[in-house]
């Protein structure tokens, strides 16, 4: 694999993805054959935000490959509580470990970490921005069920604004031919423009719906999501959005016989309990795939070389990204790094348009 870090699924070529997927399926078939692949290697998990599946699936993945793990899941118990910068934490920990897995509440934190790390960095979720290893899990599951990840009608329902899993998944699926997207949300929780603009620039067919009933019958894949309570400004704003979408057995009756219902989990109230037993609901299998695809990713990335000293970047003269949730507005030493995507000047950390 050519890539060194996984910050965004789109860092990867489709050939690299296919190779990784094939490896994950081989591991799933015969996990014991891979038990020494990461022997003597250490993975650090820096979890600045709560996680069950992502953290545990990374940890079990590394342990099943014969590696060891260090890290924290409560920044309050680490030097972060003493005011250490992200840059310092990453410089130190990446000196100890062979791969760093980071989850952070601020957008662009994983990209920022990759600038200072001596070893590969994996983004395990950066605020409401991206979550590429969930996308690997989702694509693996879709491929397992449908035999392909193209020519599908995929519906995403719930918090499309703050749901980083949706952003990553849609930006990945747009790269495969013939996928159509149905976006089911309230007007307040529509996809952010950085995702919509990219889908449109790639010529994707998008339909927006306000109810599940009006579109569930057309879908091959339904991706349900939780309303992301922790990203709302106030409990009142959250209360206005919660409980609007609920997948029930009545709605499942309107769906195709081979619909696949995915969910990154955790789910709250968006799926009725009785629906869990419908064989079309595959989120628990999806969560298990998360371990196999992360095993494949770790097996490929920990072989990457260490870089030694990280480059010294010039300090920015002023804030250059207007997104208040961007890491550059929280950690002030980060260099001004921008890129051009579809003719737009964007922040390299959080993908927001630079004015
Ligand atoms: C998701 C996340 O953290 O973004 N969960 C996960 O990683 N499996 C989805 C969520 O929290 O709703």
Beta strand pairing status for 68-72 and 42-47?
parallel
Confidence band (pLDDT; 50, 70, 90) for 260? very high
Closest CA to ligand 1's atom 6: 264
Tell which wins on pLDDT, 153 or 53. 153
3-class SS at 181? strand
Query: What are 63-81's pLDDT values in tens digits?
Result: 999 999 999 988 887 777 7
Count H helices, E strands: the chain?
A: 10, 11
Task: Phi first, then psi: give them for residue 257, nearest 5 degrees.
Answer: -65, -25
The alpha carbon torsion through 154, 295, 163, 231 (nearest 10 deg) reads 170
| Ligand 1 site, residue 192, Cβ cutoff 6 A | no
Cα 186 from chain centre: 22
Structure tokens at 95: 């000196």
Nearest-atom number in ligand 1 for the CA of 124 is 7
Percent of the chain residues topping a pLDDT of 90:
89
Nearest-atom number in ligand 1 for the CA of 159 is 12
What pLDDT does residue 311 have? 83
| Rounded distance between C-alpha atoms, residue 78 and residue 72, angstroms | 7
Judged against a pLDDT cut of 80, whether residue 26 lies above it is answered with yes
- Per-residue pLDDT averaged across 283-305, rounded? 94
| Rounded distance between C-alpha atoms, residue 132 and residue 164, angstroms | 9
What pLDDT does residue 51 have? 86
Q: Report how far ligand 1's centroid is from the alpha carbon of 178 (Å).
A: 27
**CB under 8 Å to 236, separation ≥6 — which residues?**
none
**CB under 8 Å to 113, separation ≥6 — which residues?**
46, 86, 90, 100, 102, 104, 121
User: Which residue from 49, 56, 102, 125 has its CB within 8 A of the most atoms of ligand 1, so it is best to mutate?
Assistant: 125
User: Which residue from 55, 133, 156, 264 has its CB within 8 A of the most atoms of ligand 1, so it is best to mutate?
Assistant: 264
| Ligand 1 site, residue 264, Cβ cutoff 6 A | yes
Structure tokens at 352: 């927001």
| Ligand 1 site, residue 134, Cβ cutoff 6 A | yes
3-class SS at 223? strand
User: Which residue from 165, 167, 226, 242 has its CB within 8 A of the most atoms of ligand 1, so it is best to mutate?
Assistant: 165
Question: Nearest to residue 320, comparing CAs of 333, 304, 302?
Answer: 333
Judged against a pLDDT cut of 80, whether residue 140 lies above it is answered with yes
Q: Report how far ligand 1's centroid is from the alpha carbon of 12 (Å).
A: 21
On whether the CB atoms of residues 232 and 197 are closer than 8 A, the answer is no
Sheet strand arrangement including 205-209: 205-209, 180-184, 153-157, 221-224, 260-262
Nearest-atom number in ligand 1 for the CA of 290 is 8
| Ligand 1 site, residue 226, Cβ cutoff 6 A | yes
Judged against a pLDDT cut of 80, whether residue 331 lies above it is answered with yes
DSSP 242-308: TTS--B-HHHHHTS-TT-EEE--S---SSB-GGGGGSTTB-HHHHHHHHHHHHHHHHHHHTTSPP--
Average pLDDT over all residues of the chain: 95
User: Helix/strand/coil (H, E, C) string of 80-138?
Assistant: HHHCCCHHHHHHHHHHHCCEEEEEECCECHHHHHHHHCCCCEEEEEECCCECHHHHHHH
Nearest-atom number in ligand 1 for the CA of 228 is 12
- Per-residue pLDDT averaged across 233-262, rounded? 97
| Ligand 1 site, residue 165, Cβ cutoff 6 A | yes
Query: What are 166-224's pLDDT values in tens digits?
Result: 999 999 999 999 999 999 999 999 999 999 999 999 999 999 999 999 999 999 999 99
Q: Report how far ligand 1's centroid is from the alpha carbon of 287 (Å).
A: 11
**CB under 8 Å to 246, separation ≥6 — which residues?**
269, 270, 271, 272
Judged against a pLDDT cut of 90, whether residue 308 lies above it is answered with no
Looking at residue 271, the DSSP 8-state letter turns out to be B
| Ligand 1 site, residue 164, Cβ cutoff 6 A | yes
Looking at residue 269, the DSSP 8-state letter turns out to be S
Tell which wins on pLDDT, 80 or 296. 296
Least confident range from 13-17, 73-77, 249-253, 296-300: namely 73-77
Confidence band (pLDDT; 50, 70, 90) for 50? confident
Least confident range from 7-21, 144-158, 310-324: namely 310-324
Nearest-atom number in ligand 1 for the CA of 226 is 12
Nearest-atom number in ligand 1 for the CA of 49 is 3
Structure tokens at 321: 């990204």
CA-based max dimension of the chain: 59
Confidence band (pLDDT; 50, 70, 90) for 310? confident
Judged against a pLDDT cut of 80, whether residue 307 lies above it is answered with no
What pLDDT does residue 244 have? 96
Q: CB-based burial of residue 175 (10 Å sphere; 0-12 exposed, 13-18 middle, 19+ buried)?
A: middle
Q: Report how far ligand 1's centroid is from the alpha carbon of 134 (Å).
A: 8
Question: Nearest to residue 225, comparing CAs of 279, 168, 174, 178?
Answer: 168
What pLDDT does residue 122 have? 98
């Amino acid at each position: 694999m050519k890539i060194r870090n996984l910050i965004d699924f789109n860092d990867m070529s489709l050939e690299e993805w296919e190779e990784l997927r094939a490896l994950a399926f081989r591991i799933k078939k015969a996990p014991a054959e891979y038990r020494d692949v990461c022997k003597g290697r250490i993975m650090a998990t820096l979890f600045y935000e709560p996680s069950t599946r992502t953290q545990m699936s990374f940890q079990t993945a590394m342990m099943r490959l014969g590696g060891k793990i260090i890290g924290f899941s409560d920044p309050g118990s680490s030097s972060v509580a003493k005011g250490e910068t992200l840059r310092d934490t990453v410089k130190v920990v990446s000196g100890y470990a062979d791969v760093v897995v980071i989850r952070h509440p601020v957008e662009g934190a994983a990209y920022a970490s990759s600038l200072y790390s001596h070893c590969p960095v994996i983004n395990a979720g950066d605020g409401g921005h991206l979550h590429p290893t969930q996308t690997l899990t989702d694509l693996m599951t879709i491929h397992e069920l449908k035999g392909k990840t193209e020519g599908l009608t995929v519906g995403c329902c719930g918090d499309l604004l703050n749901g980083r899993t949706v952003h990553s998944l849609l930006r990945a699926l747009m790269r495969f031919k013939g996928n159509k997207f149905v976006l089911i949300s309230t007007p307040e929780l529509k996809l952010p423009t950085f995702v919509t603009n990219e889908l449109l620039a790639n010529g994707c067919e998008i339909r927006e719906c306000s109810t599940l009933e009006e579109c569930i019958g057309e879908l091959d894949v339904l991706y349900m999501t939780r309303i992301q309570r922790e990203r709302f400004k106030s409990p009142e704003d959250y209360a206005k959005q919660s409980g609007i979408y609920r997948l029930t057995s009545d709605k499942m009756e309107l769906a195709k016989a081979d619909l696949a219902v995915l969910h990154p989990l955790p789910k709250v109230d968006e799926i009725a309990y009785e629906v869990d037993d419908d064989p079309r609901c595959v989120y628990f299998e999806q969560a298990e795939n998360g371990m196999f695809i992360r095993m494949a990713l770790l097996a490929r990335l920990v072989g990457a070389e260490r870089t030694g000293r990280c480059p010294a970047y010039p300090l920015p003269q002023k804030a250059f990204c207007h997104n208040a949730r961007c890491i550059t507005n929280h950690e002030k030493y980060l260099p001004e790094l921008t890129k051009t995507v579809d003719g737009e000047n964007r922040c390299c950390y959080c993908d927001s348009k630079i004015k």
